[in-house]
Each structure stands twice: as structure tokens, then as C-alpha cells.
């Protein structure tokens, strides 16, 4: 089976003074055709370097990168069937929107009428035909993002790479663009590889997600699988809020050496049948739920999410809290994970 993008034992080592930094360390990954695949991880985890290697902006120190079965490991960006949308969009400020979108076609010598017709078609695809004659400085952040998308799509890439393209937008617009970007990807059927450090963004948009940590892939799975069944402690704590129990505490409460329970799977109740108890240390209001931190003497504190009902109030700080959960709420983690 030919994958849209495949990485086989890919590493990237940078020199830093007398030392070497393994930005990407032996990563192997297959991305399916037409998939919305997200590279997710904290700053410095290797996700952006990995994207740059797929795009040809950084060459791998070791390993092989193929796109639709063709080895592109040492090819320059212009020779690869990909295009990239950067976080700052990199639009030419002196050109109109139409000329920005048509730019790559102009460089290739496509006649003006043909390239402008194609550029207008792409502007219609991203629902911006009315701004064709404006300059980038006259556009909102969301409009610039869509213009950058149109410009990247005009060359009909087999794979579109997106390097945190929503990072500069405010929260409301970012959420709107998440939905629009996913709808556009489904409409076009192009393989998207998306880089972000925002867990909620990754969960809401992706078909699958690869979690990066210290240059390595910790886990590749669907959003639901990553949330419900993380393989390592890092994934459990990076993707959403998590209570991680280990040692004797985990064995006593969950029957396994290391276990995770999501805060929404825990409820407050009476002392009878409680799994553990503690004292309410802090409450935070999140609109649809209260997040309650329960301190336990000599053990890790526990987060509990209490749904907000009309007229309800959270437990008071200093109050004793008794914690309950079903057996299937606890998920065993790899005891060797970090």
C-alpha cells in the first residue's frame, strides 16, 4: 500500500556549539491519502522540524521520507509535490490578494488570464472572491489565513503542510477557522499535515494525531483513542486534564502500577463506598463545569469535574470530599512511561 507520506527511521541532528541536539530521533510514521493528520507536542518536541523535513526546508540526518512512494529525502522544496502554509502567512504586502494567490502560477509562466481565473476559483473556494483587489494589510487575520490557503492550493499539491496557521488568531476566530479548515480539507480531499501545540485544536480537527516528546513519537492514534487510552504518562497528561496514580497508591485504588483517570469520570458523593477522600483545596469555574482540586494527605491531589446545574455551587474550600468512580474509569499506563 502506498501512503501519502511515509517517514522511516528519520532523524535530524543539529550542532549546538560542541554538542549535538537530536531534534527528531528515529521517527517512523505513515500518513494516509486524504487524511487530516496532526503533529502535536510542546515547544521543542520536534514536530515543526518533522514538518520542515517533509517540506524539504530541512534535510534529515538519517532515514527516508517518501511522498506517494517517491523518495524525496534529499530533494529541495520546489521539487516536492507539497506546499506549506506558515504561521505568519508570508503574503506579499505590495501585491493584491489576487496576485498573491496567483504568484506561483506567474513564476511558472502561466498566462495572466489563465492564472487569474484559477486564482479567482480558489478565492471562491475559500469564500473570499470579493476581496481579490485588496492588499493583505486591509484584511482581518481570518481573511489572511484563507488567502494563504488559497495561494498554497493553487499549485494543486498532493500534500498540504500547515505550520500552526491558526496560532495568531484570537480564540473565537480560531475556533471558527478550525471548523472551516476541516470542512475545506474534506471538500478538497487533499492530505493535510498540521502542526500545533494546542491539544483542543488537534482533538477537534484531526483524523489521527502523532504526539511528539523530546524528538520522538510517543503515540499515534485517533483523537478519541489518545484521550481515552493514552499509552504513556506523558500523553495522558499532555492531552487534556488527567489524574495519574502510581506506586502503592495506584495499586490500591486502580489495581495497576500506573493508572490514569480523567477528572470528568470522578464524582463526589457520600463516604460510603468512596475510593478515596481528601480536602477541597481549590475550585475553578469553566462555564459548564467546576474543576475541583482535592488534596489528599501524603498522596497526589485529585482533579474532579463537577457539572454545573442551575443554581448549583461548588463544594467549599476546606470541605471533606469523598471520591467515587466506576472500575472502567481507570486506564492502565505503561509502567515504564515518563
Tell me the per-residue pLDDT of 38-95, one tens digit each, with 9 for 90 and over: 999 999 999 999 999 999 999 999 999 999 999 999 999 999 999 998 877 788 899 9
The pLDDT of residue 241 is above 70:
yes
- In this prediction, residue 319 has a pLDDT band, given cuts at 50, 70 and 90, of very high
Question: What's residue 89's pLDDT?
Answer: 76
What pLDDT digit, counting tens, does each position of 120-145 carry?
A: 998 988 888 898 999 988 988 888 88
* Residue 193 counted as domain residue: yes
Are 252 and 231 in the same domain? no
**Domain housing 269:** 245-332
The pLDDT of residue 212 is above 60:
yes
Inter-residue contact 206 to 191 (CB < 8 Å): no
- Give the residue-averaged pLDDT of 261-287: 95
Q: Specify the number of domains making up the chain.
A: 2
Alpha helix stretches (DSSP H) within 14-125: 47-55, 97-107, 112-125
The pLDDT of residue 113 is above 70:
yes
**Domain end marker among 236, 264, 293:** 236
Question: What's residue 171's pLDDT?
Answer: 77
Global pTM value: 0.90
Are 220 and 251 in the same domain? no
* Residue 123 counted as domain residue: yes
Rounded to the nearest integer, the mean pLDDT of the chain is 91
What does DSSP assign to residue 231? S
* Residue 167 counted as domain residue: yes
* Residue 338 counted as domain residue: no
Question: What's residue 272's pLDDT?
Answer: 95
* Residue 337 counted as domain residue: no
What grid cell was written down for 55?
Answer: 517540506
Question: What's residue 169's pLDDT?
Answer: 73
Least confident segment among 24-28, 170-174, 265-269, 289-293: 170-174
- Give the residue-averaged pLDDT of 259-285: 96
Would you call 85 helix, strand, or coil by DSSP?
strand
Residue of 319, 231, 222 lying closest to 278 (CA atoms): 319
Question: What's residue 1's pLDDT?
Answer: 66
* Residue 47 counted as domain residue: yes
> What is the percentage of the chain residues whose pLDDT exceeds 90?
69
Question: What's residue 219's pLDDT?
Answer: 96
Burial-class residue 196 by CB neighbours within 10 Å (0-12, 13-18, 19+).
Answer: buried
* pLDDT: which is higher, 166 or 112: 112
**Domain end marker among 184, 217, 236:** 236
- Give the residue-averaged pLDDT of 308-330: 91
Residue of 267, 294, 293 lying closest to 278 (CA atoms): 294
End-to-end CA distance of the chain: 34
Question: What's residue 332's pLDDT?
Answer: 95
Are 270 and 208 in the same domain? no
CA diameter of the chain: 79
* pLDDT: which is higher, 1 or 57: 57
Inter-residue contact 243 to 263 (CB < 8 Å): yes
Are 309 and 183 in the same domain? no
- In this prediction, residue 164 has a pLDDT band, given cuts at 50, 70 and 90, of confident
Would you call 265 helix, strand, or coil by DSSP?
helix
Are 171 and 292 in the same domain? no
Question: What's residue 336's pLDDT?
Answer: 57
Give me the CATH number covering residue 321. 2.40.50.140
Are 225 and 294 in the same domain? no
* Residue 43 counted as domain residue: yes
Amino acid at each position: 500500500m502506498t501512503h501519502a507520506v511515509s517517514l522511516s527511521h528519520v532523524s535530524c541532528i543539529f550542532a549546538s556549539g560542541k554538542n549535538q541536539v537530536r531534534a527528531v530521533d528515529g521517527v517512523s510514521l505513515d500518513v494516509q491519502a486524504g487524511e487530516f493528520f496532526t503533529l502535536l507536542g510542546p515547544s521543542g518536541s520536534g514536530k515543526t522540524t518533522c514538518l520542515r523535513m517533509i517540506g524539504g526546508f530541512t534535510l534529515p540526518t538519517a532515514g527516508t521520507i517518501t511522498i506517494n512512494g517517491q523518495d524525496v529525502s534529499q530533494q529541495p522544496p520546489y521539487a516536492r509535490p507539497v506546499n506549506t502554509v506558515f504561521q505568519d502567512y508570508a503574503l506579499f504586502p505590495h501585491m493584491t490578494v489576487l496576485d498573491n494567490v496567483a504568484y506561483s502560477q506567474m513564476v511558472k509562466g502561466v498566462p495572466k488570464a489563465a492564472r487569474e481565473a484559477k486564482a479567482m476559483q480558489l478565492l471562491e473556494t475559500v469564500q473570499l472572491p470579493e476581496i481579490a483587489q485588496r492588499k493583505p494589510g486591509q484584511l482581518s487575520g481570518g481573511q489572511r489565513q484563507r488567502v494563504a490557503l488559497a495561494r498554497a492550493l493553487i499549485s494543486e499539491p498532493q500534500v498540504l503542510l500547515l505550520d500552526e496557521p491558526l496560532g495568531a488568531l484570537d480564540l473565537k476566530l480560531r475556533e471558527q477557522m478550525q471548523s472551516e479548515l476541516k470542512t475545506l480539507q474534506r471538500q478538497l480531499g487533499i492530505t493535510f499535515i498540521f502542526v500545533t501545540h494546542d491539544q483542543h485544536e488537534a482533538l477537534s480537527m484531526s483524523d489521527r494525531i502523532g504526539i511528539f516528546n523530546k524528538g520522538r513519537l510517543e503515540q499515534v492514534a485517533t483523537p478519541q483513542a489518545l484521550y481515552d487510552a493514552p499509552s504513556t504518562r506523558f500523553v495522558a497528561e499532555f492531552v487534556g486534564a488527567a489524574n495519574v496514580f502510581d506506586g502503592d497508591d495506584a495499586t490500591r485504588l486502580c489495581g495497576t502500577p500506573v493508572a490514569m483517570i480523567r477528572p470528568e469520570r470522578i464524582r463526589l458523593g457520600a463516604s460510603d463506598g468512596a475510593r478515596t477522600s481528601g480536602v477541597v483545596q481549590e475550585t475553578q469555574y469553566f462555564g459548564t463545569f467546576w474543576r475541583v482540586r482535592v488534596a489528599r494527605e501524603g498522596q497526589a491531589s485529585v482533579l474532579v469535574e463537577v457539572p454545573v446545574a442551575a443554581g448549583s455551587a461548588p463544594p467549599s474550600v476546606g470541605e471533606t470530599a469523598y471520591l467515587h468512580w466506576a472500575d472502567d474509569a481507570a486506564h492502565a499506563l505503561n509502567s515504564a512511561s515518563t
